[in-house]
Structure 1
């Protein structure tokens, strides 16, 4: 892993994500790109930003910039200077960039431009796995990014790592490619991967033979047959509750899931999430997109 992109609005939530990214950067010797989205009306933009609609270095001001554009650029520079003083940024190699997109497309464009291996971003969501991705640019980035997205919900410990992760799946064919991509990233990070299949009452209920046959077929397709001993079968009232309980009981560092481009997190995680589950959904979540 060489490059991590961190979108930031300089809020506490964004800094929680930045702290995690900084820790990963130090551990794996990779560079960070800190991306700030400006809030400048198009008619106030410098000509070079209008023409390219591209990412700019944070210090790329020009003599002919309008006062309003200069104000926002100078403000961004000031906020980046404050970031440099954060204790956890000491010793971190990073680059600062700005873009004027006010939506998720700017983040994805920037991630591709910098050949990013991972996007790390904060989320204000506080009500369960599904709610992490609802009604925000985070949701849209998760839906549309072909690059893995690590979503951080709260401030993590200073020794945070991705040493132990759980990949939660329904082990269907569409999850094969995301799991292969997940394994490639986790091998780079030196992560130990567990897998969990949550059996629930109702339409998606499977007996023991059906579950094991599905998992064996899945692992054969991914050429990861050696992971069969790392698959756990659990039963719970909802998939979300089963995944969260498993993650907490096994003290994993993050929950990995596959996501759909058209509907966000896959139907595997659809359905209502009760308030008690919400209180436990604090683990970081890393997403891998299912290509339609």
Structure 2
């Protein structure tokens, strides 16, 4: 049924549920899992009263975020090994999370995207946005959403 499943994770408890479901589904179908974490770039702002970090400090923050992202996807790989599921851990640096998820699914020839959603509605959804909604709207790959 599925050959390759992309699971998007940010290391949160909610996304851990998506990881568990993706690994269980991969175990049942014999699929491979691509574990993805999107790492944002450090935001540069120029508003009055903002404290600008030096370029060296920004690089240090981004390096820390990248290390945390690698640890997250490597944890998915370890969980996959316990289930005897092949997991390819990848990180991508992008400010456009939904686009990065869709591009990774296409690049790695995934037949399913698994991700979590907080299920926000109304004003919270409008103000906070929804990466999951963007993926659902724009992906040509089927998407399994867990709440």
TM-score between both structures, scaled by the size of structure 2:
0.74
- CA RMSD of superposed structures (Å): 2.6
Corresponding residue of 1:118: 112
What does 1:1-292 correspond to in 2, within 5 Å?
1-41=2-42, 66-86=59-79, 89-102=82-95, 103-125=97-119, 135-153=129-147
Cα shift at 1:85? 4.8
| Paired positions, count | 126
Higher RCO (CA-CA < 8 Å; seq separation 6+): 2
Shift of 1:82: 3.5
Preserved CA contact (<8 Å) 1:83 1:89: no
Unaligned runs of 5+ in 2: 45-58
**Cα distance, 1:67–1:77 mapped onto 2, change above 3 Å:** same
Taking structure 1 as reference, are residues 75 and 90 closer, same or farther at Cα in structure 2, changes over 3 Å only? Answer: same
**Distance in structure 1 (CA, Å) of the matches to 2:113 and 2:68:** 24
SS of 1:116's equivalent? coil
Instruction: Give the TM-score of the pair, scaled to structure 1.
Output: 0.39
**Uncovered stretches (5+) of structure 1, i.e. residues with no partner:** 44-65, 154-292
The alpha carbon displacement at 1:137 in A equals 0.7
Name the SS of the counterpart of 2:84 in structure 1.
Answer: coil
Instruction: Write out per-residue CA displacement over residues 44-75 of structure 1, whole angstroms, 9 at most, x where no aligned residue.
Output: xxxxxxxxxxxxxxxxxxxxxx4333322222
Alpha-carbon displacement from aligned partner over 1:149-204 (angstroms, at most 9, x marks no partner): 01111xxxxxxxxxxxxxxxxxxxxxxxxxxxxxxxxxxxxxxxxxxxxxxxxxxx
Once residues 70 and 135 of structure 1 are traced to their aligned partners in structure 2, the CA distance between those partners, rounded to angstroms, is: 26
Q: In terms of Rg, which structure is larger?
A: 1
Q: Aligned partners of 1:4 and 1:89: how far apart in 2? A: 17
* 3-state DSSP of counterpart to 1:4: strand
Q: CA deviation at 1:76?
A: 1.9
- For 2:51, the equivalent position in structure 1 comes to none
Aligned partners of 2:117, 2:82: CA distance in 1, in Å?
A: 20
